[in-house]
Structure 1
Amino acid sequence: MKSRPTSSPLRPSACPGLLRVVQALDGGICRIKLDGGSIRTDQALAVADAAERYAGGVIEATNRANLQIRGIGEQATALIDHMLAAELGPTTVAGDDVRNLMLSPAAGIDPQMLIDSRPLARQVLDCLQIHPRFHELSAKFAVQLDGGEALAMLEHPHDLWLSATQRNGELLFAFGFAGCPTDTPIAAVRLKDGHALVVAVLELFLELARPDQTRMRHLLAERSADSLLHLLAGRVPLISLDQWRRTATGLGLPVGTYPQLQEGFVYVGVMPPLGRLDPSMLRGAAYLAAEFADASLRLTPWQSLLLPNIRQADASLVSRRLQALGYLVDTHQPLTHLVACTGSAGCGKGLSDTKGDAQRLSVLRQGRHAQEQVHLSGCPRSCACAHTAPVTLLATRQGHYDLYFRDAALPGFGALQARNLTIEAAGALLDARPRSPLDA
């Protein structure tokens, strides 16, 4: 059995990790951070076993492409040791907090990718864990590495983002602070300088930020991006990049079968209802990946999972078997477009049973608006959705919600449309409204 990392103390934080089990109403929560969202089938089986043996049997796919186990009681130590033995732990204790690097779930297999981002991701993750200086970063401080894939979450804001682009035949990384790859970049670097850029930005942030400034946006509230760029230019060669912005490719929700870069192979994307799996669902997907693919699974920021490297001839059979396990396999199923936090069933801050309410809403939403994303949040923290959804239902009390529509000109959830609606009233209002840009 792999021994527990002991090189540095576990710091206090409200964020769960593998080594830090955080208490909730339904028991402890353990978050298993996956390198680039990938997990081997033997590791997935270990997660399923741990959830069944040492917890309440509830596994969650998160919006940062990780896994969580809920309902942990007195056997937290046994669960952690089980995960470490499966090589799902950090190199160092403090390194667990800072392994916050998001890739496309189709890294290395996406037909539209400009680069395979995985080798650089490995460098960055190793650096974050090994160097004690970076252990001072907040457990929420996050980096995104975008290889130009068609399948990419481009709405989640990150403290630092890098996006592959091409100029005059040369591949570069455009980059920016406290935002998304669809924002205007502040500069670019050559591919060979990508790792040096990440290191330089993190070091500069730690040098300049006060203890209360835990995120890049906090630092930018007092210092301009241009001033940071001037300091950064002394540490890594920068390139001006005019009139470039990353465009969304329109691939959308990764549920279904999609061709890979590798000829004759596809990946199959499925979604556990509202991001929750039981051990049998995870085991079943792992067995299918071992039988028909390369014995790996990939979690996504849409709280779903992919089975990569499946022969095209086997895709239909794999999809049917995943559906039999309880996964959603078709975007025409309304539940694929609903996101809900834990809610009052498991969280002390939740004002309503958001997951139960989402199930009810999915039954009501069978009309022409059913494929827009709706986010049910039990409180204003918006834990289940890192971006602003087209529609948000914010709980006010049990079974009642305020309704918001996303508006780029407004902060937070957007424009308030109605107050204190029941789920039935919210569903009727959503289906009755005129067609809008949200449906495009």
Structure 2
Amino acid sequence: MHPALRPSACPGLLRIVQALDGGICRIKLSGGSISAAQALAVATAAEEFAGGVIEATNRANLQIRGITGEHSRLIERLLAAGLGPRSAAGDDVRNLMLSPAAGIDRAMVLDTRALAAQILATLESNPGLHDLSAKFAVQLDGGEALAMLEHPHDLWLSAFERKGEPWLAFGLAGCPTDTAAGAVRLDDGHCLVVAVLELFLALARPEQTRMRHLLAERSVDSLLVLLGERLPLQRLDTWQRTPAPSGRHLGTYPQRQPGLVHVGAVPPLGRLTSEMLQGAALLCEQYGDASLRLTPWQSLLLPNICEQDAPALSQQLQALGFLLSADQALAHVLACTGSTGCAKGLADTKRDGQRLAALRQSADAPLQVHLSGCPRSCAAAHTAPVTLLAVSPGHYDLYFRDAGQAGFGALQARNLTIEAAGALLDARPRSPLDA
């Protein structure tokens, strides 16, 4: 372990955490973006030091699984590719999520990348912020149509216009679709983030690692009073973030820039081989701007593609094993590592997810199904329309999302086989909550 790293169960680039199938190295990407050269470095490192297994995470990062040894050489390889933090102690706090279409989305109110770079630089270089939990997370939403708005964050900011001027609505321990706690001018966005994080660290006890823990004892209004002493805040009475359309991480969509499109591709169940990542990197060099973006849907986005090249690119991505169509049931299945790689997993969720998708491929309208090997819900930070919670090998309890119930939602049936779960889902009426 690097001497500057604190103990934690969360993997990082510098902290390789042991799992049932070997070590895990998590590579946090600035705004979810990675260059083709960096992606090739990850693919090569995964092949050389692990089993070639790479996962796209639900926070738009990458992680290498199955690392068997030579941890220091693997870390050195990734650091040489420019994938590390500015300082060792800053790795854990690089938890800022953007839209994968930041700067290119037609619907965006604000290109968030400049503010994001400023926030990340502060997170990495300010020693006072390194005491934040490795799970403490911030979201910066620019109003894009392609945006994950269901993942809860400790602090979220969402761009909107007021009298032609950009503002940022913000909230604590929730999502941009929640009621905002207040708003600040864009110029005060960086100051707001720093103020919230410093206030949290000043008020929270050591065991209160997340904003929701602090809010269990203190009201949002009391925190706003303290924040208002550091910067001007505005109340918001009528603002509401428009929900993003579902499925836009799949396939081809026009960009804000004329003549350019972005192409979204899903690795089955969020897992890539070295060959898949290497192939995608080479394709973004050939057709795009030599960059890839990871998404919170455990997928890849290839930006800045000439519109006429999109069909050829899509065909080659499919040949590599990526899914590009919303008609493919497997593109809507989430699954954690499961019992083959995690000691807490009670079932082989990856294999069972493949079986469920095969059973449901003929369904009229695929809906998102989440298979979780244990109650920790590592594969989904949000509540999916349908959750299958493993209770034993090949058997699951079935939940439907219910806004009135916490956790996975309303329990529908217990101890189902995958075949029984598929039959029950086929018989279920379609709901607006299935999106």
- TM-score, scaled to structure 1: 0.97
Partner residue in 2 for 1:262 = 257
C-alpha separation between the residues in 1 aligned to 2:351 and 2:248? Answer: 22
Q: Deviations over 1:13-72 (max 9, x none)?
A: 000000000000100000000000000000000000000001111000000000000011
Are 2:43 and 1:48 aligned?
yes
Verify the 8 A CA contact 2:45 2:74 in the aligned structure 1.
yes
Verify the 8 A CA contact 1:344 1:378 in the aligned structure 2.
yes
Verify the 8 A CA contact 1:59 1:70 in the aligned structure 2.
yes
Partner residue in 1 for 2:76 = 81
Query: Given residue 329 of structure 2, which amino acid in structure 1 is its aligned partner?
Result: P
C-alpha separation between the residues in 1 aligned to 2:246 and 2:433? Answer: 16
Partner residue in 2 for 1:416 = 411
Which of the numbers 118, 127, 132 marks the counterpart of 2:122? Answer: 127
Deviation at 1:386, TM superposition (A): 0.2
Partner residue in 1 for 2:53 = 58
Deviation at 1:168, TM superposition (A): 2.4
Superposed counterparts of 1:269-280, under 5 Å: 269-280=264-275
C-alpha separation between the residues in 2 aligned to 1:126 and 1:201? Answer: 16
Deviation at 1:206, TM superposition (A): 0.5
SS of alignment partner, residue 106 of structure 2: coil
Verify the 8 A CA contact 2:247 2:326 in the aligned structure 1.
no
Deviation at 1:366, TM superposition (A): 2.5
Q: Deviations over 1:335-382 (max 9, x none)?
A: 000000000000000000000000000110024455210000000000
Which of the numbers 341, 355, 358 marks the counterpart of 2:336? Answer: 341
Query: Given residue 87 of structure 1, which amino acid in structure 2 is its aligned partner?
Result: G
Are 2:405 and 1:426 aligned?
no
Verify the 8 A CA contact 1:344 1:353 in the aligned structure 2.
yes
Deviation at 1:251, TM superposition (A): 4.5
Query: Given residue 357 of structure 1, which amino acid in structure 2 is its aligned partner?
Result: D
Partner residue in 1 for 2:20 = 25
Partner residue in 2 for 1:313 = 308
Partner residue in 2 for 1:116 = 111
Are 2:392 and 1:390 aligned?
no
Partner residue in 1 for 2:197 = 202
Partner residue in 2 for 1:143 = 138
Partner residue in 1 for 2:224 = 229
Deviation at 1:438, TM superposition (A): 3.5
Partner residue in 1 for 2:33 = 38
Partner residue in 2 for 1:284 = 279
Q: Deviations over 1:155-209 (max 9, x none)?
A: 0000000000112222100000000000000110000000000000001001000
Are 2:217 and 1:218 aligned?
no
Deviates more, 1:206-215 or 1:243-252: 243-252
Deviates more, 1:154-163 or 1:71-80: 71-80
C-alpha separation between the residues in 1 aligned to 2:184 and 2:417? Answer: 51
Partner residue in 2 for 1:360 = 355
C-alpha separation between the residues in 2 aligned to 1:28 and 1:350? Answer: 16
C-alpha separation between the residues in 2 aligned to 1:10 and 1:110? Answer: 37
Verify the 8 A CA contact 1:253 1:302 in the aligned structure 2.
no
Verify the 8 A CA contact 2:356 2:418 in the aligned structure 1.
yes
Verify the 8 A CA contact 2:295 2:301 in the aligned structure 1.
yes
Deviation at 1:434, TM superposition (A): 2.5
Verify the 8 A CA contact 1:390 1:405 in the aligned structure 2.
yes
Verify the 8 A CA contact 1:173 1:194 in the aligned structure 2.
yes
Residue 156 and residue 15 in structure 1: after superposition, are their counterparts in 2 closer, same or farther (change >3 A)?
Answer: same
SS of alignment partner, residue 81 of structure 1: helix
C-alpha separation between the residues in 2 aligned to 1:399 and 1:214? Answer: 35
C-alpha separation between the residues in 2 aligned to 1:301 and 1:257? Answer: 17
C-alpha separation between the residues in 2 aligned to 1:261 and 1:435? Answer: 33
Query: Given residue 291 of structure 1, which amino acid in structure 2 is its aligned partner?
Result: Q
Verify the 8 A CA contact 2:38 2:82 in the aligned structure 1.
yes
Are 2:8 and 1:10 aligned?
no
Deviation at 1:75, TM superposition (A): 1.2
Verify the 8 A CA contact 1:155 1:387 in the aligned structure 2.
yes
Q: Which runs of 4+ in 1 moved over 4 A?
A: none
Verify the 8 A CA contact 1:367 1:431 in the aligned structure 2.
no
C-alpha separation between the residues in 1 aligned to 2:231 and 2:349? Answer: 47
C-alpha separation between the residues in 2 aligned to 1:355 and 1:370? Answer: 22
Q: Which runs of 5+ in 2 are unaligned?
A: none
Deviates more, 1:232-241 or 1:406-415: 232-241
Q: Which runs of 5+ in 1 are unaligned?
A: none
Deviation at 1:90, TM superposition (A): 0.6
C-alpha separation between the residues in 1 aligned to 2:246 and 2:359? Answer: 26
C-alpha separation between the residues in 2 aligned to 1:402 and 1:286? Answer: 39
Deviation at 1:239, TM superposition (A): 1.3
Deviates more, 1:344-353 or 1:430-439: 430-439
Partner residue in 2 for 1:351 = 346
Query: Given residue 348 of structure 1, which amino acid in structure 2 is its aligned partner?
Result: A
Deviation at 1:411, TM superposition (A): 0.4
C-alpha separation between the residues in 1 aligned to 2:131 and 2:364? Answer: 45
SS of alignment partner, residue 339 of structure 2: helix
Partner residue in 1 for 2:324 = 329
What fraction of aligned residue pairs are identical, expressed as a percent? 72
Number of equivalent positions? 435
Partner residue in 2 for 1:180 = 175
Which of the numbers 155, 163, 171 marks the counterpart of 2:150? Answer: 155
Partner residue in 1 for 2:241 = 246
C-alpha separation between the residues in 2 aligned to 1:138 and 1:422? Answer: 38
Deviates more, 1:319-328 or 1:162-171: 162-171
SS of alignment partner, residue 269 of structure 1: strand
